Chain A
Amino acid sequence: MKDLMEFRWHGRGGQGAKTAALLFADAALASGKYIQAFPEYGPERMGAPVAAFNRLSSKPILLHSGVLNPDVVIVLDPTLMDSVDVTEGLPETGIIIVNTAKPASDVRKELNIKPGIKVFTIDASAISKETIGRDIPNTPMLGALIKVTGILDFKEMLADTKKKLEKKFKSKPEVIEGNLKAIERAYNEVKS
């Protein structure tokens, strides 16, 4: 794996693409990595397509331009794929992870994805409804992302996330439990 990895998150305004990028960066930071997380610098409206980005490296990241050729693309909302080219700039060796109940082969066919690019799918919406009680696919997608890329130690990441959730949701233990369960399930259930 190359040292500087770039990620692009696709979602709709309000779905948590930016939050996912921030959470991912924070988890990577806890594992000792240098990180960047930033949203697309455009007007953000509820429901409109948005993107967020990450850079991860073992060395300080000096680059302050946008991410044009992400190594990994994460799609939080499959309905976006009709109007947004989610594979834009993805290199031949890239990875795309989509939140959908469909198998990866269907997504590959629908988007006409080149053979070198790896496609993974996970029904993160169903998982989040079952575990958290609401359709917030961003946390389970984190689990899928870590499984697919192996970029972070999963157990360490889970422990760190637990610590952060406990701080944030002191009075709502069910939220903590649900989120952790969602991440774990997506980690185990993501398929190519």
Chain B
Amino acid sequence: MAKANVIARTGNEAMAEAMRQINPDVVAAYPITPATEIVQIFASFVADGLVDTEFVPVESEHSAMSACIGASAAGGRTMTGTSSQGLALMAEMLYIASGLRLPIVLADVNRALSSPINIHCDHSDTMMVKEAGWIQIFSENSQEAYDNMIQAIKIAETAKLPVIVTTDGFIISHGMERIEILDDADVKKFVGVYKPENYLLNLERPITVGALDLQDYYFEHRRQAIEAIRNSKSVVLDVAKDYAAKFGKSYGLFEKYKLDDAECAIVAMGSTAGTAKVTIDTLREKGLKVGLLKPRLFRPFPKEEIADALQGMKAIAVMDRSDSMNGQEGPVCLEVKAALFDKGLNKAVINYIYGLGGREIRLEDIESVCNDLSSCLKGKAVNKINYLGVRD
């Protein structure tokens, strides 16, 4: 028989379950496909009295993030969820949340941005806000989405920075999988009681939030935020260590799969990493020494660690589920290339833009990536930027 804490949940249900166990003070949200269920399920927890949360149904995502900022500045543990156009509408307020150093946690279900209008998965939405000062954590499956949400609250409150946790739209958000969940009491103990240092409702020590900050101090305050996001890498690791010690589940800055003895590597985030692992198993049997590096933490980008992990590779395929529309490579590829350059590593790096708007990514697609890597190892010329699975 299965253990009592093994359950079947979709990605959205898993994220809502984590939110129930965290029991935040405030959730303000506006529905959007495919993230709607997260806050819809959470709203039912509120209605059923399973949480003590003040749920604020608002009229737009801009308002949702504004309400979250107000609640967090007031001293409340605050969470929300959105996707795609919703995240885009929040963009203005996302910068304010990070600038004010507010530890809000946002569940984002990755979905393509319009236009053309599309409701399916790609990573364009979170990539659009990669410069917003939010820590970004990607999840491969429902289990990771659940574990990442619980760790995110602690990361946010320790680093005094907001965190986005992602899942792949529909593929994970609407796919039911086996997940292991923790006991309510264990989660409660792990996340602890939120004690903000400075907050609006602290009448003993009144503060001003959001004051005008011109040439004299703006730069110093931004510099502090820049340093905070740089340092948050160690916070992510500390929280992961604590999580592993308490619950025996190990998370890091990224996951390595059959990478240590590999000659070439695939770099992929989100659900595709799972499909890549299956392909890697098959091709290893055929003699190709290929491995996977799956970034978990995309912001801040752990460049030194990623360059170290990839330094033994002779060829690297970086898979981007979005395009930067910048006339060069996709966002993940550019980060990886910069990381390698700083280590003095001149590697063959091939970029694949794939899965835009939910375009299916199959084993055969990843096998073709591996074949290109194999060609690269044999010294054959390979296109630097490729559009995988698109009709030309």
Contact = CB atoms under 8 A, between A and B. Distances in A.
Interface stretch (A58-66, A70-78, A88-96, A123-131): A58-66
B374 to A, nearest CB: 21
Most buried by A among B8, B171, B174, B271: B8
A133 interface: no
Interface stretch (B64-72, B129-137, B237-245, B358-366): B358-366
The 9 nearest A-B residue pairs measured at CB:
A62-B274, A64-B271, A38-B175, A37-B176, A41-B170, A64-B274, A29-B8, A62-B277, A65-B362
A153 to B, nearest CB: 11
B274 to A, nearest CB: 4
Contacts of B97: none
Nearest to B362: A65
Interface string B355-391: 0001011110000000000000000000000000000
Contacts of A64: 140-141, 168, 171-172, 175, 271-272, 274-275
Contacts of A31: 2
B278 interface: yes
Contact of B176 (A38, A41, A60, A62): A38
Contacts of A32: 1-2
Contacts of A180: none
A68 B360 CA distance: 11
A21 B275 CA distance: 21
Interface residues of B, number: 28
A128 B182 CA distance: 38
Interface in B174-212: 174-178
Given A26-B8, A38-B171, A41-B171, 13 more contacts: A29-B178, A35-B176, A38-B175, A41-B170, A61-B177, A62-B277, A62-B278, A63-B363, A64-B140, A64-B175, A64-B271, A65-B360, A66-B360
B275 A35 contact: no
A36 B140 CA distance: 14
B338 interface: no
A30 interface: yes
A39 interface: yes
B309 interface: no
Contact of B175 (A30, A34, A36, A60): A36
B6 interface: yes
B120 interface: yes
Contact of A63 (B6, B170, B274): B274
Interface of A: 21-22, 25-26, 29-39, 41, 60-66, 68
Given A29-B2, A29-B6, A30-B1, A38 B275 contact: no
Interface string B49-82: 0000000000000000000000000000000000
30 contacts: A21-B176, A25-B176, A26-B176, A29-B7, A29-B178, A30-B1, A31-B2, A33-B178, A34-B178, A35-B8, A35-B177, A35-B178, A38-B170, A38-B176, A41-B170, A41-B171, A41-B174, A41-B358, A60-B178, A62-B278, A63-B274, A63-B363, A64-B140, A64-B141, A64-B271, A64-B274, A65-B360, A65-B361, A65-B362, A65-B363
A147 B243 CA distance: 43
B272 to A, nearest CB: 7
Given A30-B2, A32-B1, A64-B275, A25 B8 contact: yes
